[in-house]
Chains A and B, each alone.
Chain A
Amino acid sequence: MKLLYTVISTGRRASSVEVLIKARGLTKTFGNLTAVDHIDFQVFKAECCGFLGPNGAGKTTTVKMIHCVLPLTAGELTVAGMSVSERQREIKNMVRVAPQEDNLDPDFTVIKNLLVYARYFDIPKTEALKRAEELFKFFQLTEKREVIIDQLSTGMKRRLILARALVNEPQILLLDEPTTGLDPQSRHLVWDEIRSLRKRGVTIILTTHYMDEAATLCDRTLIMDNGKIIEEGSPAELIKKHIGEEVLEIEYDEKAMKTLQEKFPEARLEVASDKIHVFTRQPHGVFENFLENFPTKGATIRTANLEDVFLKLTGRGLRE
C-alpha cells in the first residue's frame, strides 16, 4: 500500500516540476538567536511538502516567512516567482494558513469567524456562507454553527482553523502542526481533507511532529534541525537510505547485546527505553532467520519508519 503510494506520487511529481516556492540562503535571526540559518529549498506545484524537525528547529519561522508575516534577515524567498519582501499582498492572496496557535476570534461565533475572515480576502458574503456550510458539514461543525469559540473543544478549534483556511480554495496551503491535540477520529478527518486538496492540485506545506502523518501525507519531506535543513527526500527514500527495511527490537540485556554485535557486525545498535534497536542494511528476512536460531523473549520485527530516520538524524536528546 505504502509502496504503491510512493510510486504514484513520484510519477505525479515527474510530470509537474514547476517550482512554486524557492528559497536561497534564507536566514532569520532574532537578536542572537539564528532561527533559520542559510537554508535552500524548493517546493513544487501541487505537492505536499513536509517540514519536520524538533521543537525550535525553525519550521514555523520558515512558514511565517513564506506567508510574509516575518521579514527575512538575509537570503531570497519567492512564491510563484514573487519576492516575499516586495509583493506581499499578492502572495497573501494566494496563500492560506492554518497556524499552530489558536487565533480564532473569540469575540465571534463559529460561523461569524468564517465570515469575518472571508471578508479580509474580499470574498463575497453569499459565497462565503455557501462555502461555510459545506466546510461545517465536512468538518462536523454544523451543530456548533452558532456557538461562541470559547465553548469549543481543542479538536473543534483545530478543525475550525482548518475550515477557515479553506473558506475559498487556496493555491498554497500552509499547515503548521494541523493535527496537534486532535483525537484519532479528527486526525483522520483532517488527513482525508489534506489528501483531497492535494489531489485537486493545491500545493501544501505541512509541519508536523508526527512521523506517521508525514509518511502518509507528504510527497517529500525536509528535515530541519537547529535552523538548517539536514536531509530531504520522499519518506520512502529517506527510510531506505538511512534505516533499511526492517528493525529488530529486543529487550535489553548484556548477553543479547553481545550476540547481536557478533551476528550483525555492520549493524547500528541503539539502546532506548530498555530496548535494543537493531538497524541493518541487510535485506528483508534477516531478522527472522536470526530469531529462528536464537529465540529471544520479547523480540519484535517491524518495518522501518520515518521516525527511525528522524531520531537517527536529530538524536534522542530533548530540545529547549
Chain B
Amino acid sequence: MKLSNRFASNLKLPKLTYRLWKVWRRDFDVFMKTYKVNFFPPLLEPIFYLVALGFGLGGLIPQIQGIPYMQFIATGLVAISMMYGSFFECTYGSFVRMYYQKTFDAIIATPVSVEEVIAGELIWGATRSLINSAIVLAIVAAFGLISSPFSLFVPLFAFLIGLMFSALAMCFTAIAPNIDFFNYPGFLFITPMFLLCGTFFPLSLLPQAVQTFALVFLPLTHAVILSRGLILGSIEVPMLFSFLWIIGVTIVFFILSINMMKKRLIK
C-alpha cells in the first residue's frame, strides 16, 4: 500500500512553463563557452572505432547483413553517441551542478521551479545527444558510409532518444549518494548496452534469451534499430515498434525522474 503510494506520487505530472528554457539556455551558454573542448571527443572517438574496428576487424569480416562491416558499426556508433552524450550529461554533469556547484539551489530561489530546472536539464541532455549524433553522422558521411537521405532525420530522433537516456540518467542522479556511484550504471547498464545492443554485430547472433532481454529492456537496442534503418534507408516495420517503445519509456521516465529529483532537492 505504502509502496504503491510512493510510486504513484512519483508519477505526478509536473507543471512546466517556458522558464525551463532558461535552464536549458544556461547549460547551452556553458557548452558554447568551451565548445572546442566539447566538440573534440565526439569527433575523434568514432574515428578511432571506424579505423580500428572498421579497417582492422572489418578486414576479416567481408559483410554483415549485406553491408560492409564498417558501415554496420558506423550506424551503431551514431546510436552510441546519442546514449553517451545524454547519459553522461545528466549523471555526472547534472550531479556536479546539483551537488558541488549548488547551481540548482541558486536557480530554485528564483521564479524558476524545481520541476523546470530538471526538465531544462533533461532537454539539455537531449540536445547533447542531438549535437553528438550530428557530429558522428558527419564523420560517418566523411567515410562515405551513408546510403540514404533519411539520415537527415537522425538528429531529430537523436533528440528523442537523448531525452530518454537523460531521463534514465536523471533517475540515477536522484538516488546517487556521491559521484562515484555512477560507476554502477556505467559498468552495469551503459557498458553492456554498448556491447550487446546490435552495435558491433547483429542482435540475432546472440542467444534467444539475451536477444529478448535486449529488445524488452535495453533502450540502446531500439536506438540502434532506428539509426541503422534511417542511415541505410531500409525503413521497416520493427522500427515503428522501436519508436513506440522509446516514446513510452521516455514519457514514463521523464515524469519519474522529475518527481524523484524534486524529492531529493526539496526536503
Contacts and interface: CB of A to CB of B under 8 A. Distances in A.
B110 A105 contact: no
A116 B108 CA distance: 13
Interface stretch (A106-114, A276-284, A301-309): A106-114
B102 A101 contact: yes
A103 B110 contact: no
A117 B110 contact: yes
Given A30-B267, A103-B101, A107-B101, A92 B109 contact: yes
Contacts of A30: 267
B216 to A, nearest CB: 38
Interface in B189-239: none
A106 B109 contact: no
A274 B34 CA distance: 58
A41 interface: no
Nearest to B107: A120
B30 interface: yes
Nearest to A119: B22
Contacts of A93: 111
A99 B266 contact: no
Interface stretch (A3-11, A63-71, A182-190, A290-298): A63-71
B29 interface: yes
A117 B109 CA distance: 10
A108 B19 CA distance: 20
B26 interface: yes
B74 interface: no
A104 B97 CA distance: 11
Contacts of A97: 109
Interface in A89-136: 89, 92-93, 97, 99, 101-108, 112, 116-117, 119-122
8 contacts: A30-B267, A99-B106, A103-B102, A105-B26, A108-B33, A116-B26, A119-B22, A119-B26
B12 interface: no
B37 to A, nearest CB: 13
Contact of B33 (A104, A107, A117): A107
Contacts of A122: 111
Interface of B: 19, 22, 25-26, 29-30, 33, 101-103, 105-113, 266-267
Nearest to B15: A89
Nearest to B34: A107
Contacts of B103: 103, 105
A120 B101 contact: no
A105 B19 CA distance: 18
B227 to A, nearest CB: 31
Contact of B266 (A70, A101, A103, A116): A70
Contacts of A69: 105, 108-109, 266
Contact of A121 (B29, B30, B105, B110): B110
B33 A120 contact: no
B259 to A, nearest CB: 14
Contacts of A106: 101
A194 B125 CA distance: 41
A69 B107 CA distance: 10
Contacts of B102: 101-103
A226 interface: no
A254 to B, nearest CB: 52
B33 A103 contact: no
B235 to A, nearest CB: 41
Contacts of A34: none
B111 A70 contact: no
Interface string A81-93: 0000000110011
Given A30-B267, A92-B111, A119-B22, A107 B105 contact: no
Interface in A191-219: none
Nearest to A90: B111
A196 B109 CA distance: 24
B113 A89 contact: yes
Nearest to A89: B111
B106 A117 contact: yes
Given A116-B29, A121-B111, 5 more contacts: A70-B267, A71-B266, A105-B103, A116-B26, A119-B22
A99 B30 CA distance: 23
Ordered nearest first, which 7 A-B pairs have the shortest CB separation? A103-B102, A120-B110, A103-B106, A107-B30, A92-B111, A97-B109, A93-B111
Interface in A41-72: 67, 69-71
A102 B106 CA distance: 9
A105 B106 contact: yes
Interface in A148-182: none
Contacts of A89: 111, 113
Contacts of A117: 106, 110
B43 to A, nearest CB: 22
